[in-house]
Amino acid sequence: MSEATASMATALSGYELLADPQLNKGTAFSEAERDAFHLHGLLPPHVSTLDEQISRALQSLRQFETDLERYAFLRELQDINETLFYATLVGNLEELLPIVYTPTVGAGCQQFSRLYHKPRGLFLSIPHQSRLDQILAQPRFDGVEAIVVTDGERILGLGDQGAGGMGIPIGKLALYSGCGGLHPATTLPILLDVGTDNAECLADPLYVGWRHERVRGQEYDDFIEAFVSAVIRRWPRVLLQWEDFAKNNATRLLERYRDRLCTFNDDIQGTAAVATGTLLAAVNVTGVPLAEQRVAVFGAGSAGCGIAGLIRAAMCDAGLSESEAAARFFMVDRDGLLVEGMDGLAPFQAPFVQARQAVAGWTLGRPDRIELLDVVRNARPTVLIGASGQTGAFSEPVVRAMAQYNDRPVIFPLSNPTSRAEATPADIEVWTDGRALVGVGSPFPPLMRNGARFKVDQTNNSYIFPGVGLGVLAVGASRVTDGMFMAAAKALADASPARDNPLHNLLPPVSALPEVAAKVALAVAMQAHREGAAPNVPIDQIQQRLRAKIWTPRYAPLTTKGT
């Protein structure tokens, strides 16, 4: 599948061929193919090149007034002609990634029921739990190697979107193919429809999901177990990515299943890797060793604690003990700083709880809780990371305090979409006199520094998960481990333009995502080999396997089956 010139055989012809997005070439079918597949008259007579089709698609796209309209256009293009969609995406990542992915995909999820036209992926609902094996058995899915699955409960920072959450697996897998090079035919988006508690969805007469309040407890767990078991029976070596599950389910499902199949949670592990990689790049600029960093994380859910966990592991690699490293983290949630003895602490939060003795002498704004500003003024963190989904949580006093105590404060408001960011880069720039190293989860306009435009680093999982998927699948890794995500983070840091010039960006440009994915994939594959997770792949074959796995969106010659 990786060779663009390799021919493909099909028994389809006429309208059936044109209706298959994986085989359709539209006006690019050659004269010989039009003869062989009875396409004359069904297409305009001009035979187009792929480049001509890309130009036509871009002209149409740019005529729309809103990004949501552009999103709908690209989704339709993907459902009509996948090769054209991916060729257009890969050649214009800077322009199109914010439309296909965050932030516009958030609006796409909110409007999913109104935009829905053609089936893509699978909607697996609790009423059909007994039919999972039958549904997954469809021959079209024989070649599936990578699945992204969500239950739609915690879509970006937008909350419960029910069946509309399907937009996220579709968008994630678009990046797996567009940036990581996985052939679209090997990918499958899945929405686990367990109902929704979104009143607007339930009251909407156009809502396409199961009209039922969200199922929880044992019935929910039984459905997840049935799903995972069915997936393992159908595809024993598949890569399964959990996406946008609520914090009460995200960590426990990952822990439950991570040793039963090749799986990871991108919100926990992918977010952690990109944040850690960007911080490692920032350390080269600030000159403050990693072991001396103090990290405040606003949003102590599964994503925030995942970030803290991987950075803590990197600190241990740098020489600290686990307890020494953990003490350098200040996790702030809805009830303030996490300290020992608080009610309602989740197990995954426990490693980062501060001792009450450590904060006993702090000066506080109010006596009953320790707010983020209190943490910055008393703990004087060098790094401030947002994973809360709370717009404006990094207020002017908080950011100015970070700048007061640090020559080069590191500030990462990572929440998506753009409307949920803890602060805007423009505000951070003003409040820190241009001294902050900023990373954001969604794209923002460039800043002006020294009279020139400076792109804001998009500290987004798109720098990590496409390469992780490519590396894991290329060597047939049996498991996805924390060590692989550490390897991915370090590979990202090694690709930092700031390594050569501290005035440059911490991360490569979005246009370089395919190159970044290749570097991350190599690091992940090598780590899998070191850990014994890919025992049947000699180390000298890894590069070859990676190259063979990468699909390039170009039209393959079609032949009729039997010729």
Report whether pLDDT(5) > 80. no
Reported as a pLDDT band with limits 50, 70 and 90, residue 561 is confident
- What stretch of H or E contains 272? helix 271-286
Residue with tokens 């996490």: 338
Report whether pLDDT(128) > 90. yes
Q: Which two tokens stand for residue 19?
A: 């209706």
Cβ(214)–Cβ(194) below 8 Å: yes
The active-site residue, picked from 101, 207, 463, 555, is: 101
Q: Which two tokens stand for residue 375?
A: 């943490």
Report whether pLDDT(4) > 60. no
pLDDT digits (tens, 9 = 90+) for 63-103: 999 999 999 999 999 999 999 999 999 999 999 999 999 99
Distance, CA of 500 to chain centre = 27
> Yes or no: is domain 271-459 CATH 3.40.50.720?
yes
Distance, CA of 119 to chain centre = 22
Q: Cα dist. 293→37, 55, 57, 114, 430 in Å?
A: 64, 48, 47, 47, 24
Report whether pLDDT(492) > 60. yes
Q: Please provide the distance, in angstroms rounded to a whole number, between the alpha carbons at the two ends of the chain.
A: 19
% pLDDT > 70, the chain = 99
Can you give the residue ranges of every domain in the chain? 49-265, 271-459, 462-549
Q: Is 267 assigned a ligand-binding role in the annotation?
A: yes
Domains 49-265 and 271-459 share a fold: yes
Cβ(201)–Cβ(161) below 8 Å: yes
Q: Which two tokens stand for residue 479?
A: 């498991």
Q: Which two tokens stand for residue 276?
A: 């850690």
Q: Which amino acid is at 514?
A: P
Report whether pLDDT(1) > 70. no
Cβ(301)–Cβ(347) below 8 Å: no
Distance, CA of 521 to chain centre = 15
Q: Is 258 assigned a ligand-binding role in the annotation?
A: no
CATH architecture assigned to 49-265: 3-Layer(aba) Sandwich (3.40)
Q: Is 82 assigned a ligand-binding role in the annotation?
A: no
Cβ(56)–Cβ(81) below 8 Å: no
Q: Is 243 assigned a ligand-binding role in the annotation?
A: yes
Q: Is 156 helix (H, G, I), strand (E, B) or coil?
A: coil
Scored b (16 or more CB within 10 A) or e, 71-95 reads bbbbbebbbbbbbbbbbbbbebbeb
Nearest of 163, 165, 142, 146 to residue 155 by alpha carbon: 165
Q: Where are the alpha helices (DSSP H) in 287-371?
A: 302-317, 322-326, 356-359
Q: Is 172 labeled as catalytic in the residue annotation?
A: yes
Q: Cα dist. 214→209, 256, 264, 492 in Å?
A: 11, 21, 24, 38
- DSSP letters along 423-486, please? S-HHHHHHHTTT--EEEESS--PPEEETTEEEPPEE--GGGTHHHHHHHHHHTT-S---HHHHH
CA–CA separation, 519 vs 523, rounded Å? Answer: 6
Report whether pLDDT(2) > 60. no
Residues in a beta bridge with 411: 384, 438
Q: Specify the pLDDT at position 156.
A: 87
Average pLDDT over residues 180-208: 97
CA–CA separation, 316 vs 167, rounded Å? Answer: 38
- DSSP letters along 108-130, please? HHHTHHHH--S--SEEEEGGGGG
Cβ(47)–Cβ(27) below 8 Å: yes
The active-site residue, picked from 25, 71, 86, 172, is: 172
Task: Please state, as a whole number, how many other Cβ atoms lie within 10 Å of the Cβ of residue 118.
Answer: 11
pLDDT digits (tens, 9 = 90+) for 267-316: 999 999 999 999 999 999 999 999 999 999 999 998 999 999 999 999 99
Q: Is 547 helix (H, G, I), strand (E, B) or coil?
A: helix
Q: Considering all CA atoms of the chain, what is the largest pairwise distance in Å, rounded to the nearest integer?
A: 83
Distance, CA of 47 to chain centre = 37
Distance, CA of 185 to chain centre = 20
CA–CA separation, 435 vs 432, rounded Å? Answer: 5
Reported as a pLDDT band with limits 50, 70 and 90, residue 247 is confident
Cβ(277)–Cβ(487) below 8 Å: no
Beta-strand relationship, 8-10 and 558-560: parallel
Report whether pLDDT(491) > 70. yes
Sign of CA dihedral 513, 518, 523, 524: positive
Cβ(507)–Cβ(491) below 8 Å: no
Beta-strand relationship, 122-125 and 146-150: unpaired
pLDDT digits (tens, 9 = 90+) for 429-484: 999 999 999 999 989 999 988 888 999 999 999 999 999 999 999 999 999 999 99
CA–CA separation, 379 vs 428, rounded Å? Answer: 20
Report whether pLDDT(562) > 80. no
Q: Is 249 assigned a ligand-binding role in the annotation?
A: no
Helices (H) and strands (E) in the chain, counts: 24, 16
Q: Is 155 helix (H, G, I), strand (E, B) or coil?
A: strand
Distance, CA of 478 to chain centre = 21
Q: Is 555 labeled as catalytic in the residue annotation?
A: no
Q: Specify the pLDDT at position 374.
A: 97
Q: Is 406 assigned a ligand-binding role in the annotation?
A: no
